[in-house]
Amino acid sequence: MLVNELVAGRFALVDRIGAGGAATVWRAYDQRERKYCAAKLANGQSADVLVRVVREQGVRLTHPHVLSPYTWAAEDNGVLVASELVRGGTLLALIRDHGVLPWRYAAEIVLQLLDALDHVHKAGLLHRDVKPSNVLMEATGAGAPHARLADFGIAYPADGPRLTEVGFVVGTPGYLAPEILAGHPPQPSQDLFALGVLAWQLFAGEERPERRAGTTSPPGVPGPVWTVMSRLLDTDPTRRSDAGELHAHLAHVLAGTPLELPALSPITEEPIEVYDVLGALPTGWNDPTTASALPMTKVDTRSQKPRRALLLGGIGVLLAAAATAGILLLREETPTTPNTGTPRADITVDGLCDWQDVANQETSSTGVLVRCVLQPNGDYRWKPVG
């Protein structure tokens, strides 16, 4: 990448903050809006990639606990989807750093995500992949947590056509409601079950035990709070009610117990903090917000020739065609957390992985793309992708 390279004549890519087989995520500068953003750049224009881009770029939600794209752009090298830049990392990283969270701090995050799902569902959408790696955290330090539900790549209208083939499910193993595995159509209550699994992980700092109604409350969680959590995990979808009702119920329960800050880890008694994981701008970056900034230019990183931006009408036709093809042909498999593309010395093919990594993709020490998969004996192991 060249300094201040412009994508689609608008977005200057700064540094890569995530990557996967289908897309890379960059910290970027939006020249039109004059602000930094997170830019997901799709690699290639295959039908399955474009169908996911069609879905994600079409989600426009404004809510303090939802992160959806605010615009998109396209050119001959791919499609870019831009959203606000959230600097605190994922909720999964917070769980890994601290394990079990203070119950009141954890309940605050669940309350925010219930509010987010209520907004999503009232907009006529289903998320379908609620899990810690799809929740981003604002960098609030030792202050109150601020969670943002993100990654709407497999979201779709509640009354829309199903794009999956019969016999295939969409979501992440471990977060799927029982009725999904039984072949029932997508419903808002399935997002709530996934949130229940996430809530268990926040409160207990460990993998949820075998799914069943009335799971025993994790230590230290007040009974009234767990009453709401147990409804989220109920195997009967009608018992999960709806996000708005459960949000009101939990808010009422928590009203008598204000969040005390800093929140202290029940294990280490150290403050729970959400740091800025992005850090400073990279050395050599020509920051356009400074008075000495050089003008940006449209540059092709391979040929050094100016890029040709696709006409929006043309890419629109291409995306529509991909969506149509997807409705007929796309087999949606379990989405995964993007891998970094950099080999990790601690990962080997068939080596043990952690429950928190289930469905995640990484590159093994030998360069093989692997995914963490639950085995019949209960172990989690890194297995080759494909």
Q: What is the pLDDT of residues 120-129, one digit of tens each?
A: 999 888 998 9
Residues 6+ apart with CB under 8 A from 262: 142, 143, 271, 272, 273
The answer to whether 266 and 99 are in contact (CB under 8 A) is: no
Residue 168 has pLDDT above 80, yes or no: no
12-24 mean pLDDT: 79
Superfamily of domain 91-254: Transferase(Phosphotransferase) domain 1 (1.10.510.10)
- What per-residue confidence (pLDDT) applies to 58? 60
- What per-residue confidence (pLDDT) applies to 164? 47
10-24 mean pLDDT: 81
Q: Helices in 237-311 by DSSP H: which ranges?
A: 243-254
237-245 mean pLDDT: 92
Beta strands in the chain (DSSP E): 6-7, 11-19, 23-30, 35-42, 71-75, 78-84, 125-126, 135-137, 147-149, 156-157, 361-363, 369-374, 380-384
State the pTM of this model. Answer: 0.78
Determine whether domain 6-85+278-329 maps to CATH 3.30.200.20: yes
The answer to whether 152 and 127 are in contact (CB under 8 A) is: yes
The answer to whether 42 and 80 are in contact (CB under 8 A) is: yes
Confidence bin at 260 (pLDDT 50/70/90): very high
315-334 mean pLDDT: 39
Instruction: Give which of 156, 157, 241 is closest to 195, Cα–Cα.
Output: 241
Q: Does 6 or 34 have the greater pLDDT score?
A: 34
Q: Over the stretch 67-109, which tens digit does the pLDDT of each residue have?
A: 988 888 877 667 888 999 999 999 999 998 998 999 999 999 9
- What per-residue confidence (pLDDT) applies to 270? 94
Residue 184 has pLDDT above 60, yes or no: yes
- What per-residue confidence (pLDDT) applies to 329? 29
- What per-residue confidence (pLDDT) applies to 163? 47
- What per-residue confidence (pLDDT) applies to 4? 55
Q: Over the stretch 191-209, which tens digit does the pLDDT of each residue have?
A: 999 999 999 999 988 877 6
Domain range annotation of the chain? 6-85+278-329, 91-254, 339-386
333-358 mean pLDDT: 69
Residue 307 has pLDDT above 50, yes or no: no
- What per-residue confidence (pLDDT) applies to 288? 87
- What per-residue confidence (pLDDT) applies to 51? 58
Residue percentage of the chain with pLDDT more than 90: 41
- What per-residue confidence (pLDDT) applies to 176? 86
Structure tokens at 330: 């796309």
**CA 338 to CA 351: how far, in whole Å?**
19
Which residues form the catalytic set? 129
Angle, CA 80 vertex, CA 79 and CA 84 arms, to 5°: 160
- What per-residue confidence (pLDDT) applies to 172? 79
State whether residue 77 is helix, strand or coil.
coil
Q: What does pLDDT average to over the chain? A: 79
- What per-residue confidence (pLDDT) applies to 196? 94
Confidence bin at 217 (pLDDT 50/70/90): confident
Residue 137 has pLDDT above 70, yes or no: yes
- What per-residue confidence (pLDDT) applies to 359? 65
Residue 375 has pLDDT above 90, yes or no: no
31-57 mean pLDDT: 73
Confidence bin at 378 (pLDDT 50/70/90): confident
Residue 186 has pLDDT above 50, yes or no: yes
Q: Does 325 or 153 have the greater pLDDT score?
A: 153
305-322 mean pLDDT: 41
Residue 257 has pLDDT above 60, yes or no: yes
Residue 317 has pLDDT above 50, yes or no: no
Confidence bin at 340 (pLDDT 50/70/90): very low
